Chains A and B, each alone.
Chain A
Amino acid sequence: MTMNAVGRPTRPEGSIETTGFKSLTGARALLQDEPLIFELGGWDKTGVDLDEAGHDASDLSGLTRGNVPLPGLSEPETMRHFVRLSQKNHAIDLALYPLGSCTMKHNPRLNEKAARMAGFADLHPLQPVSTTQGALELMDRLAHWLKTLTAMPAVAMTPKAGAHGELCGLLCIRAAHEAAGQAARRTVLVPTSAHGTNPATAAFVGYSVQEIAQTPDGRVDLADLEAKLGPHVAAIMVTNPNTCGLFERDILEISRLTHAAGAYFYCDGANFNAIVGRVRPGDLGVDAMHINLHKTFSTPHGGGGPGAGPVVLSAALAPFAPAPWVVHGPDGLHLVEEPAAEAVQAFGRMSAFQGQMGMFVRAYAYMRSHGADGLRQVAEDAVLNANYIKARLSGEMSAAFPDGPCMHEALFDDAWLDGTGVTTLDFAKAMIDEGFHPMTMYFPLVVHGAMLIEPTETESKRELDRFCDALLALAAAAKAGDTQRFTGAPHLAPLRRLDETLAARKPRLAWRPEPISVAPTPLAAE
């Protein structure tokens, strides 16, 4: 079997005492113990006032259902329910959210206001294009910014997230190879440090995935890349800056070798925030790169989406971009939805309509606010903040790549925890008690017990210092043998550690009236 021990080991340590005082109701002052909506009794209630239907549904006899078995709540009950739940979440508006590779930056509210303007939010995707010129104009302006910032000639706007963009990029690459009689190229090379979406996407498109080794200083091993390139290789997928937070110094050689072998260079643009305004992927030989608007261009993450992942394309790949796209015509802007006549090479369609318009508006408002000068400052401050954290923490914690600067994120391993009885997971959970969201853990896979910290540019020096002081104090506590602070953490969060084994063995994915078994699953021997 494959011994893939990736991921976060997760199970509660059941026996550790919590803080002594308990309220009689289970509430903790401002934190309410909030039941599910199905437990609040609204089985025949509704929180909306609707007109009476003028006609009945007699014409649908035999096609109708009985009652819909869902509760409703009045408006005040609904408001309380969701506001109480909201208070159990960490958020970027509360404190630093240092998730490496995720770029949790401030989300300007101007962008929210703009996205709700009627000329964007209240437009139907299929109303006549003569009535949607403002929206098409915005898409066109956003595309211009994306192309200029990346020095790439084309952009496919429709992908709905980063992974969807990767799929779009690889489908362009596949179509280009097929058009050139190179369909036998069926392998994609991916560095061992890649995001999980890279191999998943390549496999999804039917490519076999081969890993490229990494050098001791955290970069792509050029000799290994050269040895693995050949007439069977369709593309390489490289993240730059990479997931170790390092710029691929040999990037020009990587693209030269790739192109010499007849393959395309797909760049995972998840870390574009580190270089926006200073470095253009087009100058590095990139053929396709998705841009996570929800990372670099600050559209809110919303608890896991929606995102948007436009893909910039080189001239070689541009003809294969999917429908629809915006074109300029004599009487205004048009939407090419059925490209048969205009561009027979388009590989198809990524989703029903023209992309994540709501995200386009937010990203465009963000770009306009910063301007070209501000975006350059974004990259500089993001890199400065990460290097500041790396410098301040390196005395107590072990940087995975201590030599030279990092880019927008600082990577540590767990060597410094040796002998303390504290794991990366324990350390991360203890950060919760100190008021911070943990960093990305156990990723990238190439570093043992990885802790990947990305502060972004929207943190003040004061907040960075508060964060570093907290981590240094925790590190000192770990080394001083204050193990219980870590192994039982979090102590002060709305919930203690959760039993993921119980959740996965007997999945309960929808509400049932009977309570879940109170006895946690016996733990396997570790």
Chain B
Amino acid sequence: MRFTKDHEWVTLEGDIATIGISAHAAEQLGDVVFVETPEVGKSFKAGDSFAVVESVKAASDVYAPISGEVVDANTVLGDAPETVNADPENGGWFAKVKVADAGEYDALMDRAAYEAFLATQ
């Protein structure tokens, strides 16, 4: 699993990346009340605004950590947005993306680097 400085995570299996927000981000947001996942079929470049996550106290844009085309979105979040709090780095995934350039994945932080980054915040 890799992370961005903007607190998204990515896993990569073959050319399919799964994307969500980190446990740290979910904790900072507080109770998540709504998630707008991206439409299947849309393409994003790394850094594009890609989804929206709302808690009672904040609404935040989620940026695509990696470029590609959306092939699946997590419909569970529509009825149960609290999954993002309960299981942020697994069941609370946002979308799966068919990746254009796997090199982008390798350029992201691993968990140790991300935790070191958080410690500086």
Contact = CB atoms under 8 A, between A and B. Distances in A.
B30 A9 contact: yes
Interface in A494-526: 500-501, 504-505, 521-526
A49 to B, nearest CB: 46
Contact of B57 (A7, A521, A523): A7
Contact of A10 (B21, B29, B34, B57): B57
A324 to B, nearest CB: 37
Contacts of B48: none
Nearest to B21: A1
Contact of A526 (B7, B21, B30, B59): B30
30 contacts: A1-B8, A1-B21, A1-B25, A1-B61, A2-B6, A2-B60, A3-B6, A3-B7, A3-B60, A4-B59, A5-B29, A6-B57, A10-B57, A500-B56, A501-B31, A504-B33, A504-B56, A505-B33, A505-B34, A505-B81, A522-B82, A523-B31, A524-B27, A524-B30, A524-B32, A524-B82, A524-B86, A525-B27, A526-B27, A526-B30
Interface string B29-67: 111111000000000000000000110111111110000
Interface of B: 6-8, 21, 25-34, 53-54, 56-63, 81-82, 85-86
A500 B6 CA distance: 26
Contacts of B58: 4-7
A146 to B, nearest CB: 36
B31 to A, nearest CB: 4
Interface in A445-503: 500-501
A9 B55 CA distance: 10
Contacts of A524: 26-27, 30-32, 82, 85-86
A249 interface: no
Nearest to B8: A1
Interface of A: 1-11, 500-501, 504-505, 521-526
Among all A-B residue pairs, the 9 with the closest Cβ atoms: A7-B57, A524-B85, A504-B33, A501-B31, A1-B62, A505-B33, A524-B31, A500-B56, A2-B60
Given A7-B58, A524-B82, A525-B85, A1 B30 contact: no
Nearest to A6: B58
A5 B27 contact: no
Contacts of B8: 1
Contact of A8 (B34, B57, B63): B57
Nearest to B32: A524
A1 B60 contact: yes
A9 B56 CA distance: 7
A526 B28 CA distance: 8
Nearest to A525: B27
A521 B77 CA distance: 16
Given A505-B33, A524-B86, 17 more contacts: A1-B7, A1-B53, A1-B60, A3-B7, A9-B30, A9-B56, A11-B56, A500-B56, A504-B33, A504-B56, A505-B34, A521-B82, A524-B26, A524-B31, A525-B27, A525-B85, A526-B27
